[in-house]
Each structure stands twice: as C-alpha cells, then as structure tokens.
C-alpha cells in the first residue's frame, strides 16, 4: 500500500505557478523582496519548474510590474527550470534580458477570451508569437505555449476540440518544446480532459504536454486523474490554490499544489516535492496576501497526521479491545 513517505512510482513533473498565476490575481502588490523570497523557498521544494513572473504590460497586470527585478533577484537552484509568461514581442525582449530558462508564450484557444485578455484576435496573437518563436529559437531558452480556455470559454462556452488541436499543430510545426492545455476558468470535466489528452498524446507524442487546471468548480483533482489515465506526466499547480486570470470572469484558484502532491504520493507517484516544506510555505501565504488560502491538506492535515483519542474514551476502548482479544 502506498503512503506519504514513499511515492516512488512513475515520475510526475510538478510545475509551480504561484508566483505568476497566483500573485497576478491578488489585489495587493506583494513587495519585490517578498516575491523573490517566495520563489527562493519554492525552489527548495523539489519542483521541476517554477513560473516566476510574467512580462506582460504593467497596465494589464500591475501586480507583476516588477518582473525584471524579480527574475534577476532570485537564487537559482540546480535542477529547477525557471519559466516566465510572455504575451508578445515586447514581453519576449524583456524576458530574454533576464536569463530565463523557458519562455511560456500565451494565447487563448477562444477568440473572445483572447481578445479580452490580450486585446487582439487569435490570428494576431499567433502571428506575434510566431515572431517570438523565430527570435528565441536557436537560443538556449526553451519555448512552451500555454493555450488558455482550452476546455471552455467564459464568453463562448464550448471550445471545439478541433480548434485546440489545430493551434497545437501550428505551434508544433514551429518547433516549440511544449504545450500547456489551460482550463482557465475551471470549465473542464474528466471525460473531456481524457478525450483531448488522448488525441494530443496520439498525434503529438514528441510534445512535452502540461495540464493546467483551475479548481473553480471543484473538478481539478478529478481532471488530474483523467489526464494521468491518458499518460500525462506534467502538471501546473499553485501553492495554497492561489491564482486566476483577471480577464476571465469568475476565474479562481489553480489546483492547490500541496493537495495534488498529497494525492499523487498516496497513489504511489513520485513527484520529488517535499510536502511538509511546501505546506510550511502555504501556511505563510496568508500574511503575504492578506487573506486565507484554500488548501485542504493544510487545513485538515495530511492523511497520516493522526489524532490522539480523547483520554476519557481511551481507557474504555482499550478495555473493550482486551476483552475482544481474550475471546
Ligand atoms: N511589457 C511591457 N509593456 C508592454 C508590453 C509588455 N509585454 N506590451 C505592451 N506594452 C506597453 C506598450 O509599450 C504600451 O505602452 P504605452 O501605453 O506607454 O505606450 C502599452 O503597453 C500598450 O501597448 P499595446 O501594444 O497597445 O498593448 P495592449 O494595450 O493592446 O495590450 C498586451 C496587449 C498583450 C500587452 C496586454 O493585454 C497584456 O499584457 N495582457 C496580459 C494579460 C495577462 O497576463 N493575463 C493573465 C495571464 S493568462
Ligand atoms: Zn491559470
């Protein structure tokens, strides 16, 4: 039987997005030094990747207007890849001056969400990102593309699987290393996730594929199981379940990293994430952002954090047990 000490089975790559997806949606501006300290602490937890910040317009995302200082201020840990979000050429130029390991380019699979979030249509975004890819390719910086609203759009509803596959195909032809399927507003459901993941694995087996779930409707861990069943081994998640896109109505927290790691480890997967250390970081988030966070495992304790039986009942219980054993 699996337990929280071993894991030890198939490797799952955990990618922490709290410093970017988490903080972009907070009302308070977390001071730069605190952001750097958060990334440095997360770097000690065993993540495969940390998304540090985003090089978006400071008018669009004021909470992350200190992207350069944060990226240049962090202490890098060997084995951790440092990624940043990039929406356009200007963002790419800024990011490339900051020693990033990965540029995470972003556009939406839905026309109206793309327009709301990035102020342009999908084709305009695709053209800009194509130029960014041409510029970065050949450097040491890896390229990932995050497709927002891949499982549903808050304005249009269903986003056809075909149009998601089509954008994956076009980006794959440009030679990107990876693609992230983002459930930006928690509209995905498990059978839908399994269907899309199966197609992506079948037609693009060489692409590094990440699933990015939000828990807006309580389905994020169920969706994770569906993705795992199709062989997905990379997940974005956010400590404390922080996160959300400010330009998607109703968007709320990402799947909570410590809850996901807790589940995966119990199931025997190997995440390499130090769960107690991560839970400590999660407990500290409230003082950083000024409100409680949503993680279940931090609230309830891990499955193996057992409780002492009330003393008044323990004597009776032991007596009953002894009597049973004597029979
Ligand atoms: N970094 C810094 N500044 C940028 C920038 C970038 N990546 N891209 C544009 N700007 C600046 C321009 O220089 C211009 O500045 P000015 O007003 O002082 O002249 C201003 O922003 C507007 O530029 P424009 O090209 O017209 O951009 P826009 O207003 O159409 O916005 C985006 C387009 C993509 C820059 C903006 O919508 C954005 O950053 N969106 C990100 C949304 C996001 O991160 N959502 C959450 C993640 S999914
Ligand atoms: Zn997100």
Q: For residue 4, tell me if it sits in a domain.
A: no
Q: Please state, in angstroms and rounded to a whole number, the distance separating the CA atoms of residues 227 and 196.
A: 9
180-200: pLDDT as tens digits: 999 999 999 999 999 999 999
| CA-proximal residue: ligand 1, atom 20 (nearest) | 57
Closest-CA residue to 193 (of 165, 233, 224, 217): 224
Q: For residues 302-311, give the mean pLDDT.
A: 93
Ligand at shortest distance from the CA of 117:
1
CATH of residue 63's domain is: 3.20.20.70
53-97: pLDDT as tens digits: 999 999 999 999 999 999 999 999 999 999 999 999 999 999 999
- Structural domain span for residue 276: 13-326
Predicted pLDDT at 7: 67
1-44: pLDDT as tens digits: 556 766 679 999 999 999 999 999 999 999 999 999 999 999 99
Q: For residue 8, tell me if it sits in a domain.
A: no
Q: For residue 63, tell me if it sits in a domain.
A: yes
Q: Which of 3-7, 105-109, 144-148, 309-313 has the lowest mean pLDDT?
A: 3-7
Q: For residues 219-223, give the mean pLDDT.
A: 98
pLDDT above 90 (res 126): yes
| CA-proximal residue: ligand 1, atom 3 (nearest) | 57
Query: Active site includes 245?
Result: yes
C-alpha separations of 205 from 69, 132, 189, 258 in Å: 37, 24, 23, 28
- The pocket around ligand 1, CB under 6 angstroms, is made up of 24, 54-61, 87-88, 90-91, 94, 106, 117-119, 148, 245, 247
Q: For residue 2, tell me if it sits in a domain.
A: no
Q: For residue 162, tell me if it sits in a domain.
A: yes
Q: Treating both helix axes as pointing N-terminal to C-terminal, what angle do 220-229 and 190-203 enclose, rounded to 10 degrees?
A: 30
Report the Cα 317 to chain-centroid distance in Å.
45
Helix (H, G, I), strand (E, B) or coil at 76: coil
Q: For residue 1, tell me if it sits in a domain.
A: no
Q: For residue 3, tell me if it sits in a domain.
A: no
* Residue tagged active-site, from 153, 182, 245, 256: 245
Predicted pLDDT at 2: 54
Q: What is the number of structural domains in the chain?
A: 1
Tell me what the pLDDT averaged over the chain comes to. Answer: 96
Mutate to test the pocket of ligand 1, among 60, 89, 148, 183 (most ligand atoms within 8 A of CB): 60
Q: For residue 5, tell me if it sits in a domain.
A: no
Please calculate the CA angle 181-279-84 and round it to the nearest 5 degrees.
40
Which atom of ligand 1 is least distant from the CA of 119?
Answer: 30
Q: For residues 243-260, give the mean pLDDT.
A: 93
Residues 6+ apart with CB under 8 A from 273: 14, 45, 46, 47, 257, 261
Helix (H, G, I), strand (E, B) or coil at 199: helix
Instruction: Please report which confidence band the pLDDT of residue 255 belongs to, taking 50, 70 and 90 as the band edges.
Output: very high
pLDDT above 60 (res 229): yes
Predicted pLDDT at 65: 98
Predicted pLDDT at 250: 85
Share of the chain above pLDDT 90, in %: 91
| Gap from CA of 104 to ligand 2 centroid (Å) | 12
């Amino acid at each position: 039987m699996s337990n929280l000490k071993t894991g030890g089975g198939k490797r799952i790559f955990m990618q922490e997005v709290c410093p970017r997806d988490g903080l972009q949606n907070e009302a308070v501006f977390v001071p730069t030094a605190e952001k750097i300290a958060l990334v440095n602490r997360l770097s000690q937890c065993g993540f495969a990747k940390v998304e540090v910040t985003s090089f978006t317009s400071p008018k669009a995302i004021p909470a992350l207007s200190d992207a350069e200082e944060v990226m240049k201020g962090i202490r890098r840990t060997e084995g951790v890849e440092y990624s940043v979000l990039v929406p356009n050429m200007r963002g790419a130029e800024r990011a490339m001056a900051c020693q990033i390991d990965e540029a995470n380019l972003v556009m939406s699979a839905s026309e109206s969400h793309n327009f709301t979030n990035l102020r342009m249509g999908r084709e305009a975004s695709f053209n800009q990102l194509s130029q960014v890819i041409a510029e970065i390719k050949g450097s040491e910086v890896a390229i990932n593309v995050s497709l927002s609203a891949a499982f549903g759009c808050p304005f249009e509803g269903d986003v056809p699987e075909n149009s998601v596959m089509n954008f994956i195909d076009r980006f794959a032809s440009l030679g990107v290393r990876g693609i992230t399927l983002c459930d930006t507003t928690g509209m995905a459901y498990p059978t839908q996730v399994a269907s899309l993941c199966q197609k992506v694995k079948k037609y693009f087996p060489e692409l590094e594929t990440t699933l990015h779930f939000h828990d807006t409707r309580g389905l994020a861990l169920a969706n994770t199981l569906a993705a795992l069943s199709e062989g997905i081994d990379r997940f974005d998640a956010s400590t404390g379940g922080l996160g959300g896109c400010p330009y998607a109505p109703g968007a709320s927290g990402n799947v909570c990293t410590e809850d996901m790691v807790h589940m995966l480890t119990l199931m025997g997967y190997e995440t390499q994430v130090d769960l107690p250390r991560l839970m400590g970081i999660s407990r500290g988030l409230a003082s950083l952002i000024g409100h409680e966070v949503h993680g279940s495992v931090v609230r309830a304790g891990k499955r193996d954090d057992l409780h002492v039986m009330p003393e008044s009942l323990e004597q009776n219980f032991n007596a009953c047990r002894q009597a049973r054993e004597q029979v």
